[in-house]
Structure 1
Amino acid sequence: MVNTSRAEFQHPRFAQAYIRASELADRRGAYEHRRRLLAGLQGRVIEIGAGNGRNFPHYPPAVTEVVAVEPDDTLRAHAAEQARSAPVPVSVVPGHAGALPAGDGTMDAAVVSLVLCSVPEQRSALAEIVRVLAPGGRLHFYEHVRSPRRPIALLQDLITPAWHRAADGCHPNRDTLAEIERAGFEVAWIDRFPFAPNPPVPPLTHILGAAVLKR
């Protein structure tokens, strides 16, 4: 567990820009990505970094409860509004990936959607996910990651310091899949594809899939 103050996650200007960007991304294809991300979920689900709630309409009926964790006050307010029309019960709560507001082994599944790129410490965030999941729990993930092409990956390394400052802590060069597997998950399925959610930013490698906790 990482003892990080929620005050460190308050960036209202970036939040407003993110809301606009997420709407454009959905029109360019992210809407379908979100639908695929959440397909097959059931039981109690914790969504980490729920943002402005763009995933909520896609939760399937087998989900009995969603605990949607979002540290940013601006985004959380928008998520709470989205939760009112969600097809399943959604509770939007303050919190962050390093200290999830859930008990040990109380969740059937976890969802991360374009959030592991920007958490301060991926390993700590994934350790928290492992903590709250029941044995055999599922992790559904949708993330942009380090390019498999070495020249592009090296360029991502070069631009990461500036990108990190401009994009509210985002790292374009993280090998997120390797960290998911290192945390104790076995990948059930994965799709890897280029996607440009917000031109003129060029296409970034994205991964979409699900993994099962091996305990």
Structure 2
Amino acid sequence: MALRMNVQARLDHRFAATYNRFMAAAERRWAYESRGQLLSGLTGRVLEVGAGTGVNIPHYKNADHVVLVEPWPAMRSQLHQKVARDARVATTVVDAVVEDLPFPGASFDAVVCTFVLCSVEDSYAALAEIQRVLRPGGTLAFLEHVRGGWLASRVQDLLTPVIRRFAAGCHPNRDTEGDIERAGFTVLQSETLKPLPVVPWFAPFVKGAASPADHP
């Protein structure tokens, strides 16, 4: 068991170290622009969960204060460097997991999830915490890769056990937008993205905004 945990820790560390290179082509082709469209208009207090290496930081232009939550030390060290270099607004980095956020209820105007809900162990626990810290009428902004159509979803199901091991727990076969709705959010806008070349275990993607259903 200890050997297995050590091997997984090394795999996770390698994933963190190579994440930016792995995503570089997608960022150039479409993801950077999609992030900007999703995030540049957010205002007030903004929480980003699973902030990773900080690729979203340049897109926060109108927020009063951005809090970046990241539990992995290997990611968080890169995050601090990115904040020092590229942050345009007041920004704080916090060591925490999305399933147990150390913030009072209703303390954020917006919560951001980009390529993170696929990796949490319990997406409903994560979404419950997000709903708790959002103010009434607040916004959940999301950009996630999600379960594909009939054939793509079969490929995703087959590959998920391997991808989870080598990509930090990623579940490419999750119906994340459906999970958001089932967790008590109303999806206000949603766009499905299928950037070329389509990679069946990582596409399609969904970009959108949701609000707690009790506070549309």
Return the TM-score normalized by structure 1.
0.89
The 5-angstrom pairing of residues 10-159 of structure 1 reads 11-61=12-62, 63-84=63-84, 85-147=86-148, 149-159=149-159
Q: Which amino acid aligns with 1:20?
A: R
**Aligned twin of 1:3:** none
User: What is the alpha-carbon distance in structure 2 between the residues aligned to residue 142 and residue 179 of structure 1?
Assistant: 14
Unmatched 5+ residue regions in structure 2?
Answer: 1-7
Is 1:196–1:202's contact at 8 Å kept on the other side of the alignment? no
Is 2:159–2:201's contact at 8 Å kept on the other side of the alignment? no
Is 2:155–2:200's contact at 8 Å kept on the other side of the alignment? no
Q: Secondary structure at the match of 2:35?
A: helix
1:182 CA displacement? 1.2
**Aligned twin of 2:167:** 167
- When residues 201 and 179 of structure 1 are mapped into structure 2, their CA distance, relative to the original with a 3 A threshold, is closer
Unmatched 5+ residue regions in structure 1?
Answer: 1-7
User: What is the alpha-carbon distance in structure 2 between the residues aligned to residue 96 and residue 184 of structure 1?
Assistant: 20
| Cα-Cα RMSD | 2.0
Spell out, residue by residue over 1:4-60, the C-alpha distance to the aligned partner (whole angstroms, 9 max, x if none): xxxx98832110111222333311221101101213211101100001111010013
**Aligned twin of 1:178:** 178
What is the identity percentage for the equivalent residue pairs of Structure 1 and Structure 2?
44
Is 2:147–2:156's contact at 8 Å kept on the other side of the alignment? yes
Is 1:111–1:140's contact at 8 Å kept on the other side of the alignment? yes
Is 2:152–2:200's contact at 8 Å kept on the other side of the alignment? no
Q: Which amino acid aligns with 1:106?
A: S
- When residues 196 and 116 of structure 1 are mapped into structure 2, their CA distance, relative to the original with a 3 A threshold, is farther
User: Which structure has more RCO (C-alpha within 8 Å, separation ≥ 6)?
Assistant: 1
Q: Which amino acid aligns with 1:60?
A: K
User: What is the alpha-carbon distance in structure 2 between the residues aligned to residue 60 and residue 211 of structure 1?
Assistant: 20
User: What is the alpha-carbon distance in structure 2 between the residues aligned to residue 129 and residue 203 of structure 1?
Assistant: 24
Q: Which amino acid aligns with 1:108?
A: D
Q: Which amino acid aligns with 1:186?
A: T
User: What is the alpha-carbon distance in structure 2 between the residues aligned to residue 128 and residue 9 of structure 1?
Assistant: 26
Q: Which amino acid aligns with 2:161?
A: P
Is 2:65–2:89's contact at 8 Å kept on the other side of the alignment? yes
Q: Secondary structure at the match of 1:82?
A: helix
1:97 CA displacement? 1.2
Q: Which amino acid aligns with 2:166?
A: A
- When residues 9 and 120 of structure 1 are mapped into structure 2, their CA distance, relative to the original with a 3 A threshold, is farther
Aligned residues: 205
Return the TM-score normalized by structure 2.
0.88
